[in-house]
Amino acid sequence: MRILDRHILLRFLGNFFLLFGLLFVFAISIDIIIQWEKFMDVAAALDPPNAAGEKRATTLGVAKVIMGFHGPRIFQFYQYMMPLVALGAMGFTASAMHRSREFTAMLAAGVSLRRAVVPIVGGMTILCALQGANQEFVLPHLAPRLLLEHSDLIRGVVPTWSIALAADSRGSLIHAAKYDPAKRMLTGITIVERTPQGGVARRIEAASATWDSQQRAWILVQGKLGVPSQPNDAPASERPSVFNDQPIASFATDLDPDTLSLRHHRLHAHMLSLKEISELTRTSAVDPGSLRRYAVGRFAALAIAVLVLVICIPFFALREPAPLLRQAVHCAAIGLPLMLTSMVIITVPLSAFTPTVGVMLPVALLIPVAAWRLVAMKT
* Dihedral angle of Cα 61, 65, 71, 72, to the nearest 10 degrees: 140
- Interval 206-221: pLDDT, tens: 999 999 989 999 999 9
Pair (249, 326) in one structural domain: no
Does residue 120 fall inside a structural domain? Answer: yes
Average pLDDT of the chain to the nearest whole number: 88
Question: Are residues 309 and 255 located together in one domain of the fold?
Answer: no
Confidence class for position 115, pLDDT limits 50, 70, 90? very high
pLDDT surpasses 70 at 28: yes
Structural domains counted in the chain:
2
> Does any domain span residue 11?
no
Same domain for 167 and 86: no
- 10 — pLDDT class (breaks 50, 70, 90): very high
Q: Return the bridge partners of 189, or none.
A: 176, 206
36-45, 114-123, 367-376: least confidently modelled range: 36-45
Indicate if the pLDDT at residue 157 is higher than 80: no
State whether 296 and 362 are in the same domain: yes
The candidate with the shortest Cα–Cα distance to 123, out of 4, 10, 1, 3, is 10
**pLDDT, position 13:** 97
Residue 27 lies in a domain: no
Q: What average pLDDT score do residues 134-140 get?
A: 93
Residue 152 predicted with pLDDT over 90: no
Tell me, yes or no, whether 122 and 165 share the same domain: no
pLDDT band at 2 (very low <50, low <70, confident <90, very high): confident
* Domain presence at residue 54: no
Instruction: Give the number of C-alpha atoms closer than 13 A to the C-alpha of residue 203, restricted to the C-beta side.
Output: 16
- The verdict on 171 and 259 lying in the same domain is yes
Asked if residue 12 is part of any domain, the answer here is no
Any domain includes 48:
no
Q: Is the pLDDT of residue 272 over 90?
A: no
Domain boundary among 229, 248, 264: 264
- 333 within some domain: yes
238: containing domain: 161-264
Q: Does residue 309 sit in the same domain as residue 259? A: no
CA distance 206 to 212: 16
Q: How confident is the model at residue 151 (pLDDT cuts 50, 70, 90)?
A: low
Residue 237 lies inside a defined structural domain of this protein: yes
Q: How confident is the model at residue 177 (pLDDT cuts 50, 70, 90)?
A: very high
Based on the domain organization, do 233 and 166 belong to the same domain?
yes
* Listed residues 216, 249, 264: the one ending a domain: 264
pLDDT for res 379:
83
Kindly state whether residues 220 and 302 are assigned to the same domain: no
